[in-house]
Structure 1
Amino acid sequence: MKTFSIEEITTLVNGEQIGLCEDIINAPEQIENAVKGNVTFIGSSKYARLWENSNASAAIVYEGINIVPEEGKAFIKVKNPDLAMAVLLEAFEPESPCFEIDIHPTAVIDKTATLGKGCKVGANSYIGKNVTLGDNVVIYPNVSIFDDTTIGNETVIWSGTVIRERTKIGSHCIFHINVSIGADGFGYRPSSDGRGLVKIIHIGNVVIGNAVEIGANSCVDRGKFSSTILGDGCKIDNLVQIGHNSVLGRCCIMAGHSGLAGSVTLGDGVIIGGSASIKDHVTIHSGAKVGAGSGVIADVPAGKSVVGYPACDSREKMKQWVALRKLGRS
């Protein structure tokens, strides 16, 4: 178990210690559940009232909050408690599951595949023809990587993930369990005789940049032609759908259960809230935000926030909701 003194934690998060505490910190914990030996977080005055009844030994506190620790406890004041939390959680992170053998004997690796230095491949994984893995790629058990795929250095792929042929993946990516990369896009047209549906074959691929993280059970479909693209630094939550030929700029965020239909374009830094859905061929420009549960059917200008179904400017939608409530009272 990892442990730290208050002074060590203060140094880690680049904070200012207020008060004295001799307890050894063995874990971070939310303020309601914290016990002696835990450090907690107070990011706003909303949570400051909970400190009085907390058993935590210490708290990382937003520097603008005017409260003081009790005797024998300590505060560590920081400019951004969320970023401090990220640093501290990384310090306390347990070791990842270990590989007793770098390449498990039950893994099937085609003779034409190329593995860089330090790669690890877990049990029952499959690596197809002409696949190229960079240095220190980690493939956990039961992963399938199909032909002509390239994966950059330090990428980690968790169990159950399937990466279809011709996919290109950058370095330092993380794919969590059961991610699907490069499946056929959803495309059908009525047959000429009107008796069925004709499948539209998708012959493109998926291109994923560096430092992209994709959550469990999310899907990124291949392009009908050319590529579905995720730019550097994109973060995709669990249970997200990204349709064929969609293009995401740098550092986009998509929360759980959200989805892009085909040929959607996101600029840099776009944020899509949970369960939001985006119509095909829509462009959401850089810095725009889409509220949770919204349905976007038209382009969104840069920096705009939209909410509702159909989505419109957030301030305008708030006015509409207020007007509807007033109608209900009349």
Structure 2
Amino acid sequence: MPQTLKDLAASLGAETLGDASLLVDRLAEPLEARAGDLALAVAPKFAEQLKASAARAAVVWAGADLDALGLEGAIVAPHSRLAMAGLTQAMDDNLAFLGEPAIHPTAVIDVTAVIGTGAQIGPFVVIGAQAQIGADARIAPHVSIGVQSVIGARATLHAGVKIGARVTIGDGFIAQAGVVIGSDGFSFTTRGPSNAERAVRSRPGVPLDPLVDGTWHRIHSLGGVEIGNDVEIGANSTIDAGTVRATRIGNGVKIDNLVHIAHNVILGDACLLCAQTGVAGSSVLGARVIMGGQSGVADNLTVGRDVVVGGGAGVLANIADGLFVSGYPAQPSHEYRASLKAVRRLTKP
């Protein structure tokens, strides 16, 4: 629905310039903006693109000259990224859930499940016995929710999300398409020493321990998953159930696409995990840890609070609070950079 610049600015706590009654119905990049769009031009470098566009309204930087930019109205955004967060929320028309009935007739809901007031349940959704769905939750087509699982209020589960049994999720949860939560952990054992154990113990010139029985025996996952409030999980990411106790995800955690969280892992509040990150079984990440894309943590380790793990880094040992680490194996970034410089010097004549 079209909104005025005045209303949008008020939702951001921002100021307006020019005609605040202008209506806009879409966000757009400056060069592609039409007359009814709100162009996102948050820095002076976008000035020429704005002038070349048909935009009448834009989000601009402090001190922008509307006449010079050819605009009739504008919102001034001193904090551009925060403005983007607020504007995209205000202009999101939630097409995935538009026009669906409260509970689609093709949904299969066990008679013992409890559905909260205002919940919206799409086509071909399956909800298991004793599951609980919070108020105003939105569940897209082909989602399945396992036995005794609890989904909090205002949750949004996009198409194809799979929630296993005994999963507990807080309020404000968002899961993008294809997320799987509560699948079995990758946990196996052998009767005698496995090949991995034999390899770790091997030494040059010393015969390997005999292989007694290489058959892998499954250790079942009985612990479920516990997820806090305001957690978001990207498309095709997975969180495994714990073995005996639950895998635990703290409040405010944000997980990108194609991330794997193994069994028994604990993620502290407000962690941020970028795409293709993996955290192996029973490792613990403190609050506000950031993991760059394609980084990983080995099993049974502790990563302290406020640690930043650079993209592609491999954490193979415990990390103290507040460090920024890079490389493989991960080490303090200043040490890693120094070692790279030293290697380059070795190749110089």
Same fold by TM-score greater than 0.5: yes
Match of 2:48 among 24, 48, 52: 52
Separation in 2, partners of 1:17, 1:270: 37
Sequence identity, in percent? 35
Matches within 5 A, 1:287-306: 287-306=306-325
Indicate how the Cα distance of structure 1 residues 75 and 318 shifts in structure 2: closer, same or farther if over 3 A, else same: farther
Separation in 2, partners of 1:160, 1:77: 40
1:232 aligned partner: 251
Report if the CA contact (8 A) 2:173-2:231 is conserved: yes
- Residue identity matched to 1:109: I
Q: Which protein has the larger Cα radius of gyration, Structure 1 or Structure 2?
A: 2
- TM-score w.r.t. length of structure 2: 0.84
Report if the CA contact (8 A) 2:140-2:158 is conserved: yes
Note the alpha carbon deviations across 1:8-35, whole angstroms, 9 max, x for none: 4443433344567996534222345445
C-alpha displacement of 1:275: 0.9
Indicate how the Cα distance of structure 1 residues 120 and 25 shifts in structure 2: closer, same or farther if over 3 A, else same: closer
- Tell me, what secondary structure is at the counterpart of 1:49? helix
Separation in 2, partners of 1:41, 1:302: 38
1:132 aligned partner: 132
- Tell me, what secondary structure is at the counterpart of 1:103? coil
Mark the runs of 5 or more structure 1 residues left unpaired by the alignment. Answer: none
Match of 1:264 among 272, 275, 283: 283
**Between 71-80 and 219-228, the greater mean CA deviation after superposition:** 71-80
Greater percentage in helix:
2
Q: Does 1:278 align with 2:278?
A: no
Note the alpha carbon deviations across 1:218-272, whole angstroms, 9 max, x for none: 1000011101000111111111100100001111111111110011111111111
Q: Does 1:318 align with 2:337?
A: yes
Separation in 1, partners of 2:3, 2:124: 37
Separation in 2, partners of 1:218, 1:300: 25
1:89 aligned partner: 88
Note the alpha carbon deviations across 1:105-135, whole angstroms, 9 max, x for none: 2222222212222222222221111112222
Report if the CA contact (8 A) 1:43-1:82 is conserved: no
**Between 25-34 and 156-165, the greater mean CA deviation after superposition:** 25-34
Report if the CA contact (8 A) 1:19-1:71 is conserved: no
Matches within 5 A, 1:59-74: 59-63=58-62, 68-69=65-66, 70-73=68-71
Note the alpha carbon deviations across 1:119-162, whole angstroms, 9 max, x for none: 22222221111112222222222111111111221212122111
2:203 aligned partner: none
2:173 aligned partner: 173
- Residue identity matched to 1:29: A
Indicate how the Cα distance of structure 1 residues 316 and 28 shifts in structure 2: closer, same or farther if over 3 A, else same: same
- TM-score w.r.t. length of structure 1: 0.89
Report if the CA contact (8 A) 1:38-1:58 is conserved: yes
- Tell me, what secondary structure is at the counterpart of 1:229? strand
